[in-house]
């Protein structure tokens, strides 16, 4: 009765919202600690909150559909031209545009064994086949082998990778790009790039503008603290951006989202503060893992993945914590006996360590 391609899609399971824990377990919202969706524990820049409050009545107006000011802000930040930028309702929407312009029922996408779930969901909507490399890490040789044998239409490089937190070396990213035929696209999803310190792993959109078939994706949802406003972007050569514009609906982000993204771009200090807090608290998560002999994946993001051995069940641990008001992300649906924990404030992390210690 419905599009047959949809039968194969597992509906995206978002991190559990605070409201659910309030409803189901009768815990007050202020006592719930959400470390499940990689949001910024500092919230958003106070400048953003102020601007939204002051401009609330603009909710009545359609946004500036050229998104001129936001594109100017991104142009400045990344040293690219406005014509190289497309804005989406989250970078999720840019992923959707990319799938639209590239995929049909005889297409293939290539991704690492464990990565962002939306790549598959969009691919399957078009009946495209999903090819995976053997490892969760982005191993250049594994990608190149599959590119040669399968000739995928889209190659996804998620760096740093969600939900594992590891980043891919620049040289490996370029090796994968160079091995990809010119009529296939390479998507470099950099949702967490703000947290990457090591120069060998840091990439910027200008690294890829010389390639006609590569797009850089970024978002305001993580380090910029605007997950609730849904603003992301793609940066690529003009030819590719022009094609993506053909499938973009008008007014695809809201007036207040646009304003929030523009304001947040003026407060780089807030981003720097967020990244510094993350680094400091990440150290505590590494220490905790070592002290409890938990295996973890060294992370270049604002979350850490703890891998459990057979003694423990990640789903049970996540549920037990949730009943006590701390939400983390169980990775059982990715085929891992592991949990992904967003790095919170010191107080939030204290609470997580306290509850998790009791589980172990
Ligand atoms: C969070 C995330 C995104 C997109 O988030 P939006 O809120 O849609 O901008 C994209 N890719 C990865 C890997 C992410 O973790």
Q: What is the pLDDT of residue 338?
A: 98
Tell which of 266, 284, 309 closes a domain: 266
Measured at the CA of 311, the angle between CA 309 and CA 317, to 5 degrees, comes to 90
Ligand 1 atom nearest to 158, measured from its CA: 13
Residues 206 and 262 in one domain: yes
Which pLDDT does position 10 carry in this prediction?
86
334 with 236, same domain: the answer is: no
With a Cβ cut-off of 6 Å, ligand 1 is lined by 90-92, 116, 158, 162, 189, 191, 219, 221, 227, 232
What distance in angstroms lies between residue 219's CA and the mean position of ligand 1's atoms?
Answer: 7
Tell me if 244 sits within 8 A of 86, measured CB to CB: yes
Please identify, by atom number, the ligand 1 atom nearest to the C-alpha of residue 37.
1
205 plus 344 within the same structural domain: no
> Within this chain, do residues 276 and 249 fall inside the same structural domain, yes or no?
no
Measured between alpha carbons, how far is 274 from 222 in angstroms, rounded to an integer? 10
Residues 159 and 297 in one domain: no
How many CB atoms sit inside 10 A of residue 268's CB? 12
pLDDT for position 8: 87
- Please tell me the residue having the least CA distance from ligand 1 atom 8: 90
Same domain flag for 302 and 184: no
- For the chain, strand residue ranges (E) read 33-34, 85-88, 108-111, 129-132, 154-158, 185-189, 214-219, 232-235, 295-297, 303-307, 326-327, 329-330, 338-342
Domain that holds residue 247: 46-266
C-alpha pair distances (Å), 140 with each of 77, 133, 172, 207: 29, 10, 5, 18
Reported as a single tens digit per residue, the pLDDT across 103-146 is: 999 999 999 999 999 999 999 999 999 999 999 999 999 999 99
95 and 34 part of one domain:
no
Query: Considering its fold, how many domains does the chain have in total?
Result: 2
* The domain boundary residue, chosen from 218, 239, 266: 266
Per run of 10 residues, the mean pLDDT along the chain (length 360 residues) is 89 84 90 96 97 97 97 98 98 98 98 97 96 97 98 98 98 98 98 98 98 98 98 98 98 98 97 98 98 97 97 96 96 95 98 96
Nearest-atom index, ligand 1, CA of 221: 7
Alpha-carbon distance values, 54 to 67, 162, 221, 230 (Å): 20, 35, 22, 20
Q: Where residue 8 sits, what CATH number does that domain have?
A: 3.90.1150.10
Cβ atoms of 40 and 224 within 8 Å: the answer is yes
- If asked whether residues 202 and 234 sit together in one domain, one would say yes
Query: Rounded to the nearest whole angstrom, what is the distance from the C-alpha of residue 91 to the centroid of ligand 1?
Result: 6
Q: How far is the CA of 117 from the centre of ligand 1 (A)?
A: 10
Q: How far is the CA of 115 from the centre of ligand 1 (A)?
A: 11
> Where a domain ends, among 266, 283, 312?
266
Residues 93 and 177 in one domain: yes
pLDDT at 14: 79
Question: What pLDDT is recorded for position 69?
Answer: 98
């Amino acid at each position: 009765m419905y599009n047959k391609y949809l039968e194969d899609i597992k509906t995206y399971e978002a991190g559990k919202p605070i409201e659910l824990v309030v409803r189901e377990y009768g815990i007050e919202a202020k006592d719930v600690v959400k470390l499940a969706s990689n949001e910024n524990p500092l919230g958003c820049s106070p400048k953003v909150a102020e601007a939204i409050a002051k401009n609330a009545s603009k909710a009545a107006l359609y946004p500036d559909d050229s998104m001129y000011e936001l594109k100017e802000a991104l142009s400045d930040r990344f040293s690219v031209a406005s014509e190289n930028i497309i804005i989406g309702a989250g970078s999720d929407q840019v992923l959707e545009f990319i799938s639209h312009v590239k995929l049909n029922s005889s297409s293939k996408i290539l991704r690492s064994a464990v990565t962002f779930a939306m790549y598959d969901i969009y691919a399957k909507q078009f009946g495209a086949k999903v090819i995976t490399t053997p490892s969760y890490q982005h191993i250049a040789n594994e990608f190149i082998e599959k590119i040669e044998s399968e000739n995928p239409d889209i190659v996804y490089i998620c760096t740093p990778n969600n939900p594992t937190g590891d980043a891919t070396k620049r040289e490996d990213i370029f090796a994968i790009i160079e091995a990809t035929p010119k009529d296939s696209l390479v998507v470099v999803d950099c949702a967490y790039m703000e947290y990457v310190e090591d120069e060998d792993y840091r990439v910027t959109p200008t690294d890829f503008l010389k390639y006609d078939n590569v797009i850089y994706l970024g978002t305001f949802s993580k380090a910029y603290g605007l997950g609730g406003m849904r603003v992301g972007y793609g940066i690529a050569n003009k030819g590719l951006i022009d094609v993506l514009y053909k499938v973009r609906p008008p007014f695809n982000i809201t007036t207040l989202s646009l304003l929030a993204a523009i304001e947040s771009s003026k407060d780089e200090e807030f981003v720097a503060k967020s990244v510094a807090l993350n680094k400091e608290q990440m150290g505590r998560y590494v220490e905790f893992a070592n002290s409890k002999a938990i295996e973890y994946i060294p992370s270049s993001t604002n979350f850490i993945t703890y891998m459990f051995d057979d003694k423990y069940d990640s789903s049970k641990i996540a549920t037990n914590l949730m009943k006590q008001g701390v939400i983390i992300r169980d990775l059982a649906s990715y085929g891992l006996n592991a949990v992904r924990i967003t790095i919170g404030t010191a107080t939030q992390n204290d609470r997580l360590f306290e509850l998790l210690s009791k589980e172990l």
